[in-house]
Amino acid sequence: MQNLTASALAEWLADTSRPAPVLLDVREPWELQTASIAGVVSIPMREIPARSEELDDDAQIVCICHHGARSAQVAMFLESRGHTNVFNLQGGIDAWSRQVDPAIPTY
């Protein structure tokens, strides 16, 4: 698992020459209603073991949660299941809100 800063993710998403990653948000639905990055795939952490097969093994996946702890666990789990291009958003949506898009509320 590789860690990715909010600013590095913003640069990646802005780079149209690079394939966009799957933004896997592992937070609960109420958290996504509070604050979310556009275009995320929502699979709550508790559902990942049963739904991980929905994710392309070859996709570049950026795991996102509130502060980065749950997403790091999910990233490690996905790697244990054979995913090789998995990233953890350091600081989660909170870092994204504070460093990239202040229009997204913090909670």
Give 45's pLDDT tier (boundaries 50, 70, 90).
Answer: very high
For residues 50 and 2, what is the distance between their CA atoms, to the nearest angstrom?
23
Give the mean pLDDT of 64-93: 97
Full-prediction pTM beyond 0.75?
A: yes
Asked if residue 76 belongs to a domain, the reply is yes
Please tell me what DSSP assigns to residue 85.
S
Give the mean pLDDT of 48-60: 94
Give the mean pLDDT of 80-100: 97
Q: Which domain holds residue 30?
A: 2-99
Query: Kind of pairing, strands 61-64 and 86-89?
Result: parallel
pLDDT of residue 53: 92
Domains held by the chain: number: 1
Residue 65: active-site member: yes
pLDDT of residue 75: 98
Asked if residue 104 belongs to a domain, the reply is no
Asked if residue 68 belongs to a domain, the reply is yes
Catalytic residue among 6, 65, 86, 93: 65
Q: How far is CA 52 from CA 33, 63, 73, 104, in A?
A: 22, 12, 13, 27
CATH number where 54 lies? 3.40.250.10
pLDDT of residue 8: 98
Cα of 67 vs its chain's centroid, Å: 11
DSSP-derived 3-state class of residue 31: helix
